[in-house]
Structure 1
Amino acid sequence: MVSKIVFGRGSFSQLGEILEPKRVNRNAPFIYFVDDVFKGNAWLTSRIPLAYDDKIIYVSAAEEPKTSQIDQLVEQIILDYKERPSGIIGIGGGCIMDVAKAVSIMLNNDGESKDYQGWDLVKNPAVYHVGVPTISGTGAEVSRTTILTGPERKLGINSDFTPFDQVILDPELTKDVPKDQWFYTGMDCYVHCIESLNGTYLNAFSKTYGETAYELCKEIFLSDHLTAEEAQDKLMMASWHGGMSIAYSQVGVAHAMSYGLGYLLGVKHGIGNCIVFDHLEEYYPEGVKLFKQMKEKHNIQLPQGICANLKDKEFDTMIGVALSLEPLWENAIGKNWKKKITPEVLKALYQKM
């Protein structure tokens, strides 16, 4: 679990106070990975507490993180500085959170990041790392995984060394998120709840978090009584609780198939989950029904026909990525999932998208 958390509007201003005791020395910088949408945004960037050799590296979230990108960033830091950084700070959405977590791991572990895609392969603790989400829903700020697209698969570095040492939850930072992105990322949280609460891995711990996040999502996306600030606060809490729920259980069908879309077509995670979940009535009937109500209420038009012109080999690639995520299928279907989830079943579902 994340050991230290600060929550509150304006709490981003505490970042310097939080980091300073963690500075190893003047030659060991803090490296800030910041979503490049904030480049030139003085309201946020002027509050980043730079000192000595600290550095901001702007990272685009237009595409999801790749293992090659992580390896390049790690090499750049090692070449530029005599000492390992005092800490890595990620400021942005789920992609930036994942970059910060992956880089902090790879600075203390040999080899390439693709070698650590999987479960519990990391040997050494990560460099001290801090997450500051500027959009809510992914749960990346709390999860024990960092999702990367590698040369052979899209899969996270899942380990006990992955979670942040410190998270700052400041809902004020989410105030300028575009509506479509707000919906897609919020639905990532909603799908986390549905897949966790309907999974075979469910337990009392994950259920408590999942139910809280689920109720918050219903209030945020279906009610009319919340102010903008209340909705921001509640979605940040829903994201946290949804992430905690899957950290102690697992996700399911939508995430497994979304990884296939992301690997082959580059579809970003939030919208990919929405595209897939829209067709999963057979697996999550009540959840999909409510999702369609949310989609209609907020006038969201999902992309159609993204798989219409794919060849059999391309379908096979997506299916292979999806089927490789065995814990997700076992959570969704049970231990005998391979008898029910065949390549033919998945191809028929992908063809609807």
Structure 2
Amino acid sequence: MTTYRNFPMVPRVIFGNGSFSQIGDILKLKRKSANAPFIFLIDDVFKGKELAARIPLVENDKTIFVSSEFEPKTYQVDDLVEQIKAEYNELPSGIIGIGGGTLLDMAKAVAIMLTNPGSSAEYQGWDLVKNPAIYHVGVPTISGTGAEVSRTTVLLGPERKLGINSDYTPFDQVVLDPDLTQGVPKDQWFYTGMDCYIHCVESLEGTFLNAFSQSYGEKAMELCNDVYLKDIPEDESRDKLMMASWHGGMSIAYSQVGVAHALSYGLSYLLGVKHGIGNCLVFNHLEEFYPEGVKLFYKMMDKHNITLPTGICKDLTEEEFTTMINVALSLEPLWENALGKDWKKTATPEKLRSIYAKI
């Protein structure tokens, strides 16, 4: 008899413009004691801004501003955990991540590592976490990554870029307030939204596809088409992209991503290229694997006057190419989803190098 994975989902979610104002009431029910604070990890672009002033600090709650300029790293997670443990006598009541994928992944990782020994680098992989995370909440301020709903927290470690994939990773509560995504720079809005679009393409065209993944992936794809190819009001666009991100994240819960994400991980690990633009840089050269998806991607770029940077890899040494290739090839589930069990016949080091050389 087939044994199916029993995946967790986010148990509580609130959606709506202005819903962030309810976070104080939500957290009030989860406070363990006056000595167990809530720790808010917030993107430092909001330092001194209105959003930071709206955080409902009570008792000895604390806000920690974190830069999202670069991909989240395992040593950053370890440093935050050490800082929190040194400052308080008991575990916090919860961790709240406010920002894009970087901050959401940091919040999930910190919540896990407060109850698990060692370094977060030791948990990069699948189902290595033994102890439940503390209560953690995700508040996205940009849409596309699906980090708010996924069971992974993607980190750059000393040896690889790889998620902490576990049943304890998903948030206990998510607050989806489209108002918080106002003012996102256009290029960032595009690149992060394309992360969602590429989730859909890779899920819907993967060998792991099933009715569960397909239902979410198709809805996310429909929403992405509305946002990036149609002329709709800005407030409607924000709502739809936020739900596209949610559905796109769900579409890979029971399947996987594919070639673009695997290659993008190599770029991020070696060059620090951020995830959204990294996916775009790679996807731009994947007509061989996703011909229809890439064709639509070109239409989206053209409509929004997006020009991708070029020459990213032109000065790399053979050793550096090899590093990227090894990181990409280590993500075996992604390749199997994209190409099937015989994926190694197609995804050769030579093939990967030829793609990286075009970027």
Give a deviation string over 1:229-257, Cα, whole Å, max 9, x none. Answer: 00000000000000000111100000000
Where does 1:262-277 land on structure 2 (aligned, <5 Å)? 262-277=268-283
TM-score by length of 2: 0.97
**Map of 2:6 onto structure 1:** none
**Map of 1:149 onto structure 2:** 156
Between the aligned partners of 2:306 and 2:66, the Cα distance in structure 1 is: 27
**Map of 1:22 onto structure 2:** 30
**Map of 1:122 onto structure 2:** 129
Between the aligned partners of 1:175 and 1:292, the Cα distance in structure 2 is: 25
Q: Which amino acid aligns with 1:241?
A: H
Shift of 1:181: 0.2
Between the aligned partners of 2:67 and 2:76, the Cα distance in structure 1 is: 11
SS in 1 for 2:29: helix
**Map of 1:313 onto structure 2:** 319
Q: Which amino acid aligns with 1:19?
A: L
SS in 1 for 2:243: helix
Between the aligned partners of 2:328 and 2:15, the Cα distance in structure 1 is: 35
Shift of 1:46: 2.0
Aligned residues: 351
Between the aligned partners of 2:196 and 2:188, the Cα distance in structure 1 is: 13
Where does 1:79-90 land on structure 2 (aligned, <5 Å)? 79-90=86-97
**Map of 2:139 onto structure 1:** 132
Give a deviation string over 1:198-248, Cα, whole Å, max 9, x none. Answer: 001111001000000001101110011x11100000000000000000111
Where does 1:61-72 land on structure 2 (aligned, <5 Å)? 61-72=68-79
Between the aligned partners of 1:291 and 1:309, the Cα distance in structure 2 is: 27
Between the aligned partners of 2:158 and 2:47, the Cα distance in structure 1 is: 30
Where does 1:156-235 land on structure 2 (aligned, <5 Å)? 156-224=163-231, 226-235=232-241
Between the aligned partners of 1:228 and 1:36, the Cα distance in structure 2 is: 25
Are 1:236 and 2:233 matched, yes or no? no
Are 1:37 and 2:45 matched, yes or no? yes
Q: Which runs of 4+ in 1 moved over 4 A?
A: none
Q: Which amino acid aligns with 1:88?
A: I
Between the aligned partners of 2:48 and 2:156, the Cα distance in structure 1 is: 29
Between the aligned partners of 1:321 and 1:198, the Cα distance in structure 2 is: 23
Q: Which amino acid aligns with 1:236?
A: M
Between the aligned partners of 1:64 and 1:81, the Cα distance in structure 2 is: 27
Shift of 1:340: 1.2
Give a deviation string over 1:140-176, Cα, whole Å, max 9, x none. Answer: 0000000000000000000000000000000000011
Shift of 1:45: 1.6
Q: Which amino acid aligns with 1:160?
A: D
5+ residue gaps, structure 2, are 1-8
**Map of 1:260 onto structure 2:** 266
Between the aligned partners of 1:208 and 1:146, the Cα distance in structure 2 is: 24
**Map of 1:245 onto structure 2:** 251
Q: Which amino acid aligns with 2:322?
A: D
1:95 to 102, 110, 128: 102
SS in 2 for 1:162: coil
Between the aligned partners of 1:122 and 1:100, the Cα distance in structure 2 is: 15
Between the aligned partners of 2:213 and 2:149, the Cα distance in structure 1 is: 13
Between the aligned partners of 1:351 and 1:8, the Cα distance in structure 2 is: 44
Q: Percent identity?
A: 72
Q: Which amino acid aligns with 2:328?
A: A
Q: Which amino acid aligns with 1:145?
A: T
5+ residue gaps, structure 1, are none
TM-score by length of 1: 0.99
